[in-house]
Amino acid sequence: MAPRPHSSRQSLSVLEALIARPEMWRHGYDLLQETQLKSGTLYPLLMRLADDGLLESEWRPPVPPARAPRHAYRLTPSGRAFAQSMLARAEMTRPRLIGITA
Supply the angle between the helices 9-20 and 39-51 in degrees, to the nearest 10: 70
Confidence of residue 3 (pLDDT cuts 50, 70, 90): very low
Query: CA nearest 87: which of 18, 28, 2, 3?
Result: 18
pTM of the model: 0.81
- Ramachandran area for residue 53 (φ above 0: left; ψ -120 to 50: alpha; else beta): left
User: What is the C-alpha separation between 13 and 7, in angstroms, rounded?
Assistant: 10
- Locate the DSSP E strands across 1-102: 26-27, 55-60, 70-75
- pLDDT at position 1 over 50: no
